[in-house]
Amino acid sequence: MSGFHHRIATEADIPAIRDLMARAIAVNQTAFLTPAQIALSHSVMGLDTQIIADGTYFLIERGETLVGCGGWSARATLYGGDASIVARDPAPLDPAKDAARVRAMYTDPTQVRQGIGRMILDLCEGAARAAGFSRTEMMATLSGEPLYRACGYLPIEYVQSPPVDGVSVPLIRMGKTL
């Protein structure tokens, strides 16, 4: 894709990533969730800094501007950020029998539908394959589902985030054989 380039995120990128994530959660999900579900999403989704420490989180930039981010992981956690209400599990996965995780995909709301999500997913799948995995899975939001379906992912399980004040966020565990 012309005009875009990618690199691996470092700790110095964390403030810009958190800012992009907050905007993507608030704006990109309005066609899919209620305002209460979007408000709760900020506590369900977000950045798991373990992925940045592992060196498996990609940034897409146009010039020096961050326009998208997302990563993969060889650890058991399927979704959730440092501050989120869902538990995380850093146990290592076995490429011979487990599916690598695709994690925390976000596109700047002013840059959607230009293939940034697809580009990040390609990078994640390539890196997971190079690490010996033959399958990838993620916990998809309703906003992520069309992208993942377009890229060959199929639903495995429909779930809800833990409820807070009677509100929960619908989620779909999805997977793909690479």
| Residues at the site binding ligand COA, with contacts judged by CB under 6 A | 24-25, 28-29, 68, 105-107, 112-118, 138, 140-141, 143-144, 146-147, 150
Of the chain, the end-to-end C-alpha distance in Å amounts to: 22
For residue 177, the one-letter residue type is T
Mention every residue, 6+ apart, whose C-beta is less than 8 A from residue 99.
93, 133, 135, 136, 137, 175
Beta carbon of residue 66, minimum distance to ligand COA (angstroms, whole number): 12
Q: Are the beta carbons of 140 and 154 closer than 8 angstroms? A: no
Least gap, CB of 41 to ligand COA (angstroms): 8
Nearer to ligand COA, 93 or 140 (CB): 140
In whole angstroms, how close is the CB of 23 to ligand COA at the nearest point?
A: 9
Strand bridging mode 5-8 / 57-62:
antiparallel
- What phi and psi values does residue 31 have, to the nearest 5 degrees? -80, -10
CB-nearer residue toward ligand COA: 68 or 81: 68
Which residues are CB-contacts of 150 (< 8 A; sequence separation ≥ 6)? 118
Q: Which is nearer to ligand COA, 81 or 117 (CB)?
A: 117
Q: How near is the Cβ of 30 to ligand COA at its closest, in Å?
A: 10
Nearer to ligand COA (CB atom), residue 59 or residue 140? 140
Residue identified by tokens 């373990």 is: 50
Q: Which residue is nearest to ligand COA (CB)?
A: 117
User: At closest approach, how far in Å is the CB of 140 from ligand COA?
Assistant: 5
